[in-house]
């Protein structure tokens, strides 16, 4: 049970870290790749934050109900 909470916290923090702006810009890698990369960088961190927060919330509710 505690492992799921820790995994949720790790996913949550990783998603928040990915939302931080990059300190240096990446070199040009083509328009299609850049658009795909921008879409992924815009989609993955919020999903990670949501999933991590959801995991922590569900496990905390289970912990309250079970003990």
pLDDT tens digits, 25-41: 445 445 566 677 787 78
- Helix-then-strand count for the chain, H and E: 2, 0
Torsion from C-alpha of 10, 11, 13, 15, nearest 10 degrees = 160
Which carries the bigger pLDDT value, residue 36 or residue 60? 60
- Predicted confidence at residue 1, as pLDDT, reads 73
Tell me the average pLDDT across 14-23.
68
Cβ–Cβ < 8 Å for 5, 54 = no
Among 21, 28, 19, smallest CA distance to 48 is for 19
Share of the chain above pLDDT 90, in %: 13
Question: pTM value?
Answer: 0.54
Locate 46 and state its tokens.
């919020």
Tell me the average pLDDT across 1-17.
82
Cβ–Cβ < 8 Å for 1, 62 = yes
């Amino acid at each position: 049970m505690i492992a799921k909470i820790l995994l949720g916290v790790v996913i949550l923090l990783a998603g928040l870290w990915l939302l931080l702006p990059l300190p240096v810009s990446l070199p040009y890698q083509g328009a299609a790749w850049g658009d795909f990369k921008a879409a992924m960088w815009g989609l993955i961190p919020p999903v990670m934050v949501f999933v991590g927060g959801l995991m922590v919330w569900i496990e905390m509710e289970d912990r309250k109900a079970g003990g």
